[in-house]
Amino acid sequence: MFLTAPLSLSDVVADGFLTQAGFDDALKQRGTVTKTEFNPRLDGYEVVLTTDDNKTHVFSSHTVAYIDQGRTTWKWKDEPQFRFLGTWPSDDMIKAARTLAGNGPCFLVPQPDGSFDVAVLDADQLPKLHVHTALCVGLANMPATMELERALTAFGATNNIGMTTADDKVTFDEGTVVDLATRRVVSSLTFANVVADAFYFSTEHQMYFEGRYPGAPVMFNPVTNSVIVADSFAAHGLIVGRIKDGVWQWEHNASLRKFALDYAILEFLRDRTPVAEAAARGFDCATKRILKHWTHVFVRLDDDTTALVIMDAHQLRLPPASPEATLAVMATPLPEGVDKQRAKISYHQLRNS
């Protein structure tokens, strides 16, 4: 594939999309940003980020554009050669600015008059781009309308990575293969497989919990990762996802992230998923076999946010299998796209039956 000159704003956005995804992910791994400071420098800003572990991360940036106080006009510091970009300060314009300025993370720096400076971090301050990670994270969040072949070609060209195309697949020199038809990294495992491998065993745990502790009140302590169940025992709990405004977001978990990258399970790497889709596809049980916590509860964190917490305690372990329980479990409808035979085999393996 040969990268042609961009002819539209969407082309420029595509040209930087995967590289930017890799840099954004690298920055995110430093921790949740709790405070951001901007110290003016000659051609930009020193950006100081404080993360939730109380560590300070200092970066240099350069100013590439300005947005007026009404947020209606974008003005480049140095006018680029592409006149088609326009002057509207959209999210795509910010992505395009990153593409033209080395693809580093971008910050809008507020000014006293209500306007903003658009500052892009110098990307060479971030760790060397990890090809497989950038492709997985980028493809997980790529809009369906984005021109995939262009984005892949630009990614290879920008990062000096060799690539070949054959049989509707793109193979990068470091080994990652992208299927152009499915728009995914090729893997031996799918998200539906992961759900199948956990579904029936998870279902039996839920039946057991709800039968033994019907309507039990639960209290979750995120500091100690403990769940108090019915004021009678404490279980170890992990938040795996949060629901807010009809959107599901995965909670960061190092083991889950490693699994997702090892097997290119892009669903685990999405920034946002509509909650209806999450429910239909079995997000509530998908992490259980990976993290070895088989019972879940939904816990209200605040007025707007609900968390899915998976739990483990000896009080939640299943009793010996019974024909009645197995029949009830097998009668439970599977999430969409999940193979019943695979789910049954996995259940019997876990049940040693």
* 180 and 305 housed in the same domain: no
Domain check: are 335 and 230 in the same one?
yes
pLDDT interval class at 82 (50, 70, 90): confident
State whether 169 and 213 are in the same domain: no
pLDDT of residue 81: 84
Q: 274 and 169, same structural domain?
A: no
Which tokens hold the place of 158?
């920008």
What does the pLDDT read at residue 298? Answer: 97
Q: Which residues pair with 295 in a beta bridge?
A: 311
State pTM to two decimals.
0.94
* Domain shared by 250 and 224, yes or no: yes
Average pLDDT over residues 209-215: 96
Cβ partners under 8 Å of residue 261, min gap 6: 132, 133, 136, 269
Task: Record the tokens describing residue 11, joined without a space.
Answer: 């082309």
Structure tokens at 26: 């690298």
* Domain identity same for 104 and 220: no
Both 169 and 195 in one domain: the answer is: no
126-156 confidence digits (pLDDT tens): 988 999 999 999 999 999 999 999 999 999 9
Nearest to 248 by CA among 203, 287, 279, 288: 279
**34 plus 162 within the same structural domain:** yes
- Alpha-carbon 250 to chain mean position: 7
Q: Say if residue 286 is in the same domain as residue 299.
A: yes
Average pLDDT score over the chain: 97
Q: Which of 126, 152, 186 is the last residue of a domain?
A: 186
**Structural domain that includes position 315:** 191-351
Task: Output phi, psi for 38, to 5 deg.
Answer: -125, 120
Residues 148 and 234 in one domain: no
Question: Does 83 have pLDDT greater than 90?
Answer: no
How sure is the predictor about 5, in pLDDT bands with cuts at 50, 70 and 90?
Answer: very high
Residue-wise pLDDT for 17-29, tens only, equals 999 999 999 999 9
Cβ count near 244 (within 10 Å)? 15
Half-sphere CA count of 104, side-chain side, radius 13 A = 21
The pLDDT of residue 344 is 98
pLDDT in tens, 225-246: 999 999 999 999 999 999 999 9
CA atoms of 229 and 238, how far apart (whole Å) = 14
Question: Given 117, 152, 186, which residue is the final one in a domain?
Answer: 186
Over pLDDT 70: what percentage of the chain?
Answer: 100
pLDDT > 90? residue 80:
no
The tally of domains found in the chain comes to 2
Residues 154, 13 share a domain: yes
Same-domain check for residues 88 and 1: yes
The last residue of a domain, from among 138, 157, 186: 186
Distance separating alpha carbons of residues 132 and 264, to the nearest angstrom = 9
pLDDT at residue 79, rounded to an integer? 86
